[in-house]
Structure formats: C-alpha cells, structure tokens
Homo-oligomer: A and B are copies of this chain.
Amino acid sequence: MALPPIKTVGVIGTGVIGASWTALFLAKGLKVIVTDPAPGADARLRDHLLKHWPSIPNAKVTQDEYLNNFKFVKEIDAYLGDVDLIQENGPERLDFKRSLFAHLDANTPEHVLIASSSSGLPSSEFITECNKNPARILIGHPFNPPHLVPLVEVVPHQGTGDAYVTAALQFYRSLGKDPVLVKKETPGFIANRLQAAVCAEAYSLVARGIVSAEDLDKTMTSGLGLRWALTGPIMTNTLGGGGDFNHFMDHLGPALKTWLDDMHRHEFDVNSQDVDVLKERVNEWTSQTNLKEIEESRNKRLAGMIKSKSEDYV
C-alpha cells in the first residue's frame, strides 16, 4: 500500500517542539495547518518562525513563502480532511493524549498518518480509545530543536502498519532528517536510554568527588563527544578493533566488565542525599558561567556542525 504524497501537514501544539517542527515543514516547502489552544500562541509561533529561519539547513522556499504557507486555526477539526500527515506535540499526559488521539483518529481520513512527538509515552498507551485506524499511529520523536538536529526516533506500536512505518521514515528523510527505527517500544526509546546511562555515571563521579562537574563535562566535549559526533559507539569500537568488532569485544570485554562492576558498586541513587551533593557541586560551577552565552554559542556551533556535515554528504 503506497500512501499519497505528503503536501500538507497538520501540527497540533506549538510549544518549543511544535513551533520548531512547523519551521522545518514550512522551510521544506510544505503547507502547514497549525493549532494551539494557548492564548497568544499564534503570535509566539510567528516569533519562533522568524527566529529559526536563518539556521534551517537547505531551505527550499523563500523567506516570504516560509512565513506565509501556514494557517493558524483555533479549531483544527474543519481542516482534518485537508492534511496528509499530523505531527502532534501536546502535553505528555496520558489522559490528555488518550482523548486527543481518540478524537484525531475518529475525525481524520483513515489513511492519514498520525505521528506523536512524545518523548516518553509509547503510543500503545494512548491509542486505547482509537477505533477507526490505530494502525496509522506511531511516535516520531525529534531531538530538540527539531528544525536543526537530524535525529528522529520512529517508534511504532505493535499494531502500527508497516506501510505507515515506511511512510514515516520516508517523510522524515525527505525533510533532511536522519530517522532511526525503534523496532519495539522500550522506556526512553534509544536516545534517552543512552543519555541516562551517561548521566547516571556522570552524576556518580561528580557526587563522589572523583572529578569536578566542569572536568566531567570537559571529558565529553574535548574527548568522547568529538568522536561520537562522527562515529557512534558500535563503529567507534569496530575501528578501535582495527576494523573488527569481534576482536574489540574479545580484547576489551574483560576490561569493560571490570569497569561496569565498579560502576554498579558506586551507582548513583536519584532518591538519596547524593542528589543534594551533586546539585551543590554542579551549582558551584554553573553559577560561575554565563549560561546565556554558553547556550547561544552552543546553538550557533550546533547549526554550523550540522550544516558542514550535511554539505559533505551532498
């Protein structure tokens, strides 16, 4: 089953994530029908769009088209027949998403793919009241900010149709994104789990006084992170094994086990007093930094890095 081409996207919710998705969709030449019940949401969306424009890689339209190819509506129901895909960005509350998806499923033509930006709730939990076609519902979880960072985690539930999974992957790729397929629902999907693994050990090392918060971060930004921006853990290991992952595992496996065992012995407990020690040590450092400057510089460099990566491959 081939799905019709996606020309018009419905965006539900224009918080940080929804506004950034809208910017990307518009820059790639799509029409967008967008809604958000919050007072002033329309004006805030326009501010976001203006702010994001300079940093979007490979825009396909003029700034003028970008700023005019969308319609902000108070109620989207009357327009659900006009959209080819919905990207939902509502609050991460189960009751809210359950009734929203029941409503969207009932009122949107049967073939229209509905993707949720949910970062935590798997779709199996909120499709329970969808009776029309829950097979077209899946998670399309972006990495913040979506108009910039290529990663999208596509997570079907057990009943999502293969054609919809394929269509979602194709759609995100057509926007210049780099979607990954999470084949089975799992808490935190992939990125949040890898991030949690690093954070738990980072918190433990700082709380134990092994390393300062600043030096912990430097270990990442001046070492590990530089490499991981270019090759992931599996390829890094493969290259580290002289092109042979098996060799790496056989050679480094025992050391890995020693480190992991020691990490278990000193595991960070988010419900203990270690949290207070950690907070104090982190605040000691961050209170001496200019966070606004760091964030602006990070976002600028991030855009530059992504641009240079995408240009290399074109």
Contact = CB atoms under 8 A, between A and B. Distances in A.
State the number of copies, please. 2
Given A216-B232, A233-B216, A282-B245, A186 B210 contact: yes
Contacts of A282: 234, 238, 245
Interface stretch (A109-117, A159-167, A301-309): A301-309
Contacts of A312: 301
Contact of A220 (B201, B232, B256): B232
A253 interface: yes
Contacts of A61: none
A50 to B, nearest CB: 22
A95 interface: no
Given A196-B259, A206-B234, 19 more contacts: A143-B223, A151-B219, A153-B219, A180-B222, A181-B211, A184-B209, A186-B262, A187-B259, A190-B205, A193-B205, A197-B201, A217-B235, A225-B232, A234-B286, A239-B298, A245-B279, A245-B283, A253-B270, A254-B270
Contact of A234 (B213, B239, B292, B304): B213
Nearest to A187: B262
A228 interface: yes
B178 A218 contact: yes
A304 to B, nearest CB: 8
A228 B230 contact: no
Contacts of A221: 228-232
A133 interface: no
Contacts of A193: 201, 205, 259, 262-263
6 contacts: A143-B224, A188-B258, A196-B259, A199-B233, A200-B256, A305-B305
A196 B193 CA distance: 14
Given A184-B209, A259-B193, A218 B199 contact: no
A190 B209 contact: no
A194 B219 contact: yes
Interface in A275-314: 275, 278-279, 282-283, 285-286, 289, 291-292, 294-295, 298, 301-302, 304-306, 308-309, 312
Range of interface residues on A (Cβ < 8 Å) = 35 or more
Nearest to A143: B223
Nearest to A227: B302
Contacts of A183: 209-212
Please list the 4 inter-chain residue pairs (A to B) with the smallest Cβ-Cβ separation, ordered nearest first: A217-B232, A151-B223, A225-B228, A180-B215
Given A184-B210, A194-B220, A222-B149, A298 B232 contact: no
A120 B254 CA distance: 12
Nearest to A219: B190
A292 B243 CA distance: 8
B190 A279 contact: no
